[in-house]
Structure formats: C-alpha cells, structure tokens
Amino acid sequence: MDKVLELASQNAVVIFSLTSCCMCHSIKSLFCDLGVHIATHELDEVPRGREIEKVLGGLMDQTPPVPAVFIGRKLIGSTKEVMSLHLGGELIPLLKAAGAIWL
C-alpha cells in the first residue's frame, strides 16, 4: 500500500496500467489529448507489478484493477469514473486544481 501511495504522490496525474489493456490505452489517450503529462506505471513491466495490482484490487472494486487513475494524490477510479467526470465537465477543473493543466 505504501508503494502505491508513494508512486501516486509523485506526479499530478498517475495511471497504473497494463500494456495489453485497451481501456488503459483509451484513458491514457484522453489525458494526452487534454494536454496532460501523465506518469504511467505499466504493471506488467515494473518490478513488483503483481503486488501493486493486488493492492489496487483491494482499493477498487473491479478485476483487473486497471486503469487506476490518481489525480492530485487522490484515487479517482477507473474508466467509468474518469469518463463520468469528463462528460460532466468536472475533469478539467479537477486537473487544473491538481496543477496538471493550465487552460
């Protein structure tokens, strides 16, 4: 748990992902299209990725627990939560508040 929180606190937007996950790719593309610099941790490529995946599984109610999106050190959730925020007009203000964009 400490490792996840440490990694999530190192950048304004942090995404835990799997390289083979199409939903992870979609969320990363959304943030890139918005001009957001994201820190991505590909759990199938990093040391202790399986352990991190288990911790995220305990925090999120889904399997696999990716994409797991943190904004401003806070766990936002996965694709559904991010898209709900975006469609509701709440994602951009959240990103501004976290210092991830300056629009």
Task: Summarize pLDDT for 51-101 with one digit per residue, the tens.
Answer: 999 999 999 888 889 999 999 999 999 999 999 999 999 999 999 999 999
At the second CATH level, the architecture of 2-97 is 3-Layer(aba) Sandwich (3.40)
Distances in Å between the Cα of 63 and the Cα atoms of 67, 68, 94 are 10, 11, 26
pLDDT surpasses 80 at 12: yes
Distances in Å between the Cα of 52 and the Cα atoms of 14, 36, 55, 60 are 13, 24, 5, 12
Bridge-based pairing of strands 74-77 and 68-71 is antiparallel
Separation CA 19–CA 73 (nearest Å): 22
Separation CA 72–CA 96 (nearest Å): 10
